[in-house]
Every structure is written in C-alpha cells, then in structure tokens.
Structure 1
Amino acid sequence: MTRPRIWYLLQHRPGPAAIEGVRPMDQPGFEEHLAFLRRRAADGTLIAAGPLEDNDTGEGEGVTVLAAQSLEDARRLAEQDDESVRSGLLAVTVRTWTVVMSPALPPAG
C-alpha cells in the first residue's frame, strides 16, 4: 500500500487591508503574492495555486497547495514569506491535507 502524502492547503481570502469591491488581482500589492508563488515554484514546494470561482462567501478567495516539510514550515512560508499576507492584503488559513489516492502522482517516497 502506498503511504499517504501530506500536503498543505493555504486558503486565501481578502485581508483587512484589501480595498472592498476590488478583486485581489487588481489590488495594489497583489504582485507580492505572485512573487511568493514564483518562489515556491522555484524551490519545488508549489503543487498548484489559483482562485476559487464558485464560492458562496464572495469574490477573492483562492487556494495554494504546498509540499512543505511540515505544518510549521507551511505556516512560516504562508504567513511570513508572502508579503501580501504580512501586509494584510490577503488573510490565510493553513490546513494539512492527507492525500491517500491520486492516480496522477507517483507513490510518495
């Protein structure tokens, strides 16, 4: 049996510094979030990232999936390395996701 793979979900939503009624991608400072995602892609921790299109809580939410070393590492990256979170443009919740099945991925090693 394949051992479960642990990934971390970063659930982003507009933060206290976001301008109401302006999409996150159009807000001043959103480029800092894109820079964070590029750094995660460069270091190999980024699995996927993108906006949620069909949520009931309003526009501006998104998810990033990281393959970090630990929950603490994922929190550090999400809360300290992403300037858009540090500045309050985005708020983030970090959750552990245990992936037990994915036919598109090789077994965890």
Structure 2
Amino acid sequence: MRPTRRICNLLTEGKAMKKTFATFFVPGPAWIAGKTSREQPYWTEHAAFLDKLFADGMVILGGPFANYSDLLVIIEADTEEQVHSLFKQDPFVLHNIIRVRAIREWLLFLDARRRA
C-alpha cells in the first residue's frame, strides 16, 4: 500500500476516533525550584489522577522534559474543552504546582499504535 493511501485511510478512520491533544504545562507559583515532579507537594494525588486517566485510555504518554522547564501530556479526548475541564481537576493544577500553558490538537499521520 502506498504511504499516501495509508495516511488517508488513517484520517478517514479517525472520524470515529477521539482527537489527540498535546497538553503543555509549566511550573506554577507553588512549584518548588530544585525539586523534581515526584518531590513536589501533592505528587501522590497528581500521580493517582494521571494513572486513572491512563487506565481509562485517555492519557497516551506524559512526563517532564529533562530540565523540568515544561511537562507534556498526550491525551485523547473529544474536544479541547474536555481536556481543559479534566486538567482543572488535577491536584497539581488545583494547588498551583503546575499550570496549563497550551493545549493543541495534534493530527497524527504516523502512529505505531494503529498499525494495520
């Protein structure tokens, strides 16, 4: 199968699939400089929150960049508003450990999870 056809098939199949969003976070005012994510207050609650989204199939992958300047979570949802609403419940967001910098819909042309 030609790559172009494969991409077209993935896009047309995607109509019934959830959208993929790249959600970028930055440290908030309560972030303790010099500490990793796991050393921040409310880590256990934050990890449980993300583990639930992961178990539900919403979070695909996530974590901080190596220097902890930003964090990235790839999530599947119906709308950007749903992503905003979900992360308003994150204990790290509620307690200003991190804040959402941007949520961007991501059109995936290549996705190893959807190999035919």
Please report the TM-score for the alignment, with normalisation by the length of structure 2: 0.75
Establish whether residue 93 from structure 1 lines up as the match of residue 101 from structure 2: yes
Unaligned stretches of 5+ residues in structure 2: 1-7
1:72 aligned residue: 81
Q: CA deviation at 1:60?
A: 4.6
- In the alignment, the residues of structure 2 paired with residue 43 and residue 62 of structure 1 have an alpha-carbon distance, to the nearest angstrom, of 21
2:50 aligned residue: 37
Which structure dedicates a bigger proportion of its chain to helix?
A: 2
Q: How many residues align structurally? A: 102
Q: CA deviation at 1:73?
A: 0.2
Please report the TM-score for the alignment, with normalisation by the length of structure 1: 0.79
Which structure has the larger Rg over C-alpha atoms? Answer: 2
Unaligned stretches of 5+ residues in structure 1: none
- In the alignment, the residues of structure 1 paired with residue 111 and residue 35 of structure 2 have an alpha-carbon distance, to the nearest angstrom, of 38
Q: Which has the higher contact order (CA 8 A, sep 6+)?
A: 1
Choose the corresponding residue for 2:91, options 73, 77, 83. 83
Q: CA deviation at 1:40?
A: 0.4
Percent identity of the aligned residues? 25
Q: Name the CA shift for 1:100/1:59 in 2 (closer, same or farther; >3 Å).
A: closer
Q: CA deviation at 1:61?
A: 2.3
1:104 aligned residue: 112
Q: Name the CA shift for 1:103/1:15 in 2 (closer, same or farther; >3 Å).
A: closer
Partner of 1:67, secondary structure, is strand
- In the alignment, the residues of structure 2 paired with residue 20 and residue 98 of structure 1 have an alpha-carbon distance, to the nearest angstrom, of 30
Retained in 2: the 8 A contact 1:14–1:24?
A: no
Q: Name the CA shift for 1:69/1:81 in 2 (closer, same or farther; >3 Å).
A: same
Partner of 2:113, secondary structure, is coil
Choose the corresponding residue for 1:51, options 64, 68, 86. 64
